Amino acid sequence: MKIEQFQDEYLAHYSYAILSECEQQVVLIDPSRDPQPYYDFAKLHGAGIIGVIETHPHADFVSSHMEIHKTTGAKIYSHSLTGVDYPQTIFDEGAELSFGKIKLKSLHTPGHSPDSISIVLEHKGKDVAVFTGDTLFIGDCGRPDLRENAGNTHAKRDELARQMYHSLRDKLMVLSDDVLVYPAHGSGSLCGKALSSAGSGTIGNEKIGNWSLQKMTEDEFVKELTANQPFIPEYFGFDVNLNRKGAESFGEQLAKVKILDQVNPKELDANLVVIDARGAQVFKKGHLPNAFNLMQGKKFETWLGSIIKPGEHFYLTAPDMGTLNNLIRRTASIGYESFIEAAFISVLGEETMAEMPLAEFKRNPALFTIVDVRNEDEVNANPIFKDAIHIPLASLRAHIDQVPVDKPIVVHCAGGYRSAAGSSILASAVGRKALVYDLGEAINDFN
């Protein structure tokens, strides 16, 4: 038997291939959008993929379960509450999938979602591992507030939090301490709030170090779990429903993205946003109208899916073809590839942003309107400027009217990435009425 863990570092997502070496068969759990790594794994071991298990319809990435089913004939296993459009093999509590000396057993573990399952791997008659999806993470458990307005089955966060309390204690904590824990996410995911960077653990270690498994009342647990959860990106509900249907072929969808060899800015649709992935300093020296400076970085797809609503078409531009192709693939990982109106290598553009007058700002910040685009928990933990207007980056486009234009505007975050995006959004909206500056990394002078 072999367990292979795959990692998407950008979405902090873990997926798994379970190989029966005696039968040369593979079952996948929670695969990412690009199926090729799983095909390569199966080919390397001379094995066939016979099944794909979805622990729940994911909110933060698009799964390739439908494509793998069409390509290999593998069955798709998921809970009956999911309400799917794909050919489903129901895998409710007590269901088992056996191949070789391996038995995969379904546990219904609602809490993150009503339809969440965890998968216990039994090998040669002994429980060896549990694949916990978004129910139990290393150091944390799944957030309960993503299915209030998404999926076919809605549930209030308090109700799901109570279900999570019992799923953890009645289904997972009763497993042997030496059972390995393989979650669907690690540190950096928005599916929880305190995830460890570790990719795996054990039930015994989680009983000791995971806050959600400590002794507390149900009410205490619910209060802690529902407090201070991260923001919910715009694309999360869209991905839940796309995963319930099953996404189109990754390669075929990429091939449909229109890539322009030459760009005439005057021929672009002036009503569409341009997502410009160049570095902030290069962007400020010249960019297209209505351009948002969403730099390539570890959280590109998260912020893309937070700033751009599902169904909103946009242009995508990057400094070179290699970066552009990479960002198209990353855009597809959240199901946004069909919203790319066209993609092209960046052009200089006639729009500019002025350099931050840092010395003047330090002398008298009251001469400026300060916009803080950090998240609420960051502001509460470390308020930097007393009179700053707080609008999280994910909400900025919807609340532009809250920013007065009677003074120059300075945008800041915690390190410079979000302020580059936020200042470009504001400049695009109010740039003719007020100067907009990006404080960028100079925020470190004020911390």
In a domain, 410, yes or no: yes
Based on the fold, state whether residues 207 and 340 are members of the same structural domain: no
Tokens of 68: 């793998």
Half-sphere exposure of 204 (CA within 13 A, CB side): 5
The answer to whether residue 243 scores a pLDDT higher than 60 is yes
State the burial class of residue 350 (Cβ atoms within 10 Å of its Cβ: 0-12, 13-18, 19+).
exposed
Residue 323 lies in a domain: yes
| Residue 22 domain-assigned (yes or no) | yes
Q: Which of 305, 321, 345 represents a domain boundary (last residue)?
A: 345
Q: Quick check: is 434 in a domain?
A: yes
* Domain assignment of residue 340, yes or no: yes
Q: What is the pLDDT of residue 317?
A: 98
* Residues 364 and 218 both lie in one domain: no
Average pLDDT over every residue of 290-316:
97
Which of 210, 238, 266 is the C-terminal boundary of a domain?
238
Task: Write the pLDDT tens digit of every residue in 149-194.
Answer: 665 555 688 999 999 999 999 999 999 999 999 999 998 777 776 6
Q: Give the long-range contacts of residues 277-280, CB within 8 A, separation 24 or more.
A: 277/316, 277/317, 277/318, 277/319, 277/323, 277/327, 277/346, 278/317, 278/318, 278/319, 278/346, 279/319, 280/416, 280/420, 280/438, 280/440
The answer to whether residues 318 and 407 belong to one domain is no
Domain limit, last residue, from 312, 345, 378: 345
Mean pLDDT of 109-130: 97
pLDDT of residue 148: 67
Residue 128 to residue 341: CA distance in whole angstroms: 48
pLDDT at position 195? 76
From CA 142, how far away is CA 164, in angstroms rounded?
Answer: 8
Instruction: Tell me, yes or no, whether 272 and 299 share the same domain.
Output: yes
Distance between CA 257 and CA 264 in Å, rounded? Answer: 18
Q: What is the rounded average pLDDT of the residues 229-255?
A: 95
Closest CA to 54 of 28, 93, 18: 28
| pLDDT above 70: percentage of residues in the chain | 98
| Residue 244 within a domain | no
Confidence (pLDDT) at 153: 59
Q: Report how far Cα 190 is from the mean position of its chain's Cα atoms.
A: 6
If residue 361 lies in a helix (H) or strand (E), which one and from where to where?
A: helix 358-363
- Distances, alpha carbon 381 to alpha carbons 116, 373, 375, 378, 414, in Å: 33, 14, 10, 5, 12
Contacts of 386 (CB under 8 A, 6+ apart): none
Model confidence at 229, in pLDDT bands (50, 70, 90)? Answer: confident
CATH of the domain at 404: 3.40.250.10
Please give the backbone phi and psi of residue 379, each rounded to the nearest 5 degrees, phi first. -65, -45
Alpha carbon of residue 363 to chain centroid: 40
In whole angstroms, give the CA distance from residue 313 to residue 94: 44
If asked whether residues 109 and 181 sit together in one domain, one would say yes
- pLDDT tens digits for 333-376? 999 999 999 999 999 899 999 999 999 999 999 999 999 999 99
Amino acid at 361: F
Residue 170 domain-assigned (yes or no): yes
Same domain, 261 and 404: no
pLDDT tens-digit profile of 382-393?
999 999 999 999
Could you tell me if 196 and 169 lie in one domain?
yes
Q: Clarify whether residues 407 and 296 are in a common domain.
A: no
Same domain, yes or no: 362 and 332: no
What is the average per-residue pLDDT within 404-417?
96
> Do 196 and 336 lie in a common domain?
no
The predicted structure's pLDDT at residue 151:
53
Six-digit token string for 16: 């798994």
Check whether residue 183 and residue 152 sit in a common domain: yes
pLDDT in tens, 322-331: 999 999 999 9
Is residue 118 domain-resident? yes
Sheet of 389-390, strands arranged across: 389-390, 369-372, 409-412, 436-438
Q: Specify whether the backbone of 290 is left (phi greater than 0), alpha (psi in -120 to 50) or beta.
A: left
Domain span at 52: 2-238
Contact (CB, 8 A) for 173 and 234 = no
Q: Are residues 193 and 328 in the same domain?
A: no
Domains contained in the chain, number: 3
Dig out the tokens for 110 from the structure.
């609602």
Of the chain, the end-to-end C-alpha distance in Å amounts to 51
CATH assignment at residue 200: 3.60.15.10
Which three-class secondary structure state does DSSP give residue 68?
helix
- Mean pLDDT estimate for the chain: 95
Cα atoms in the Cβ-side hemisphere of radius 13 Å centred on 51: 22
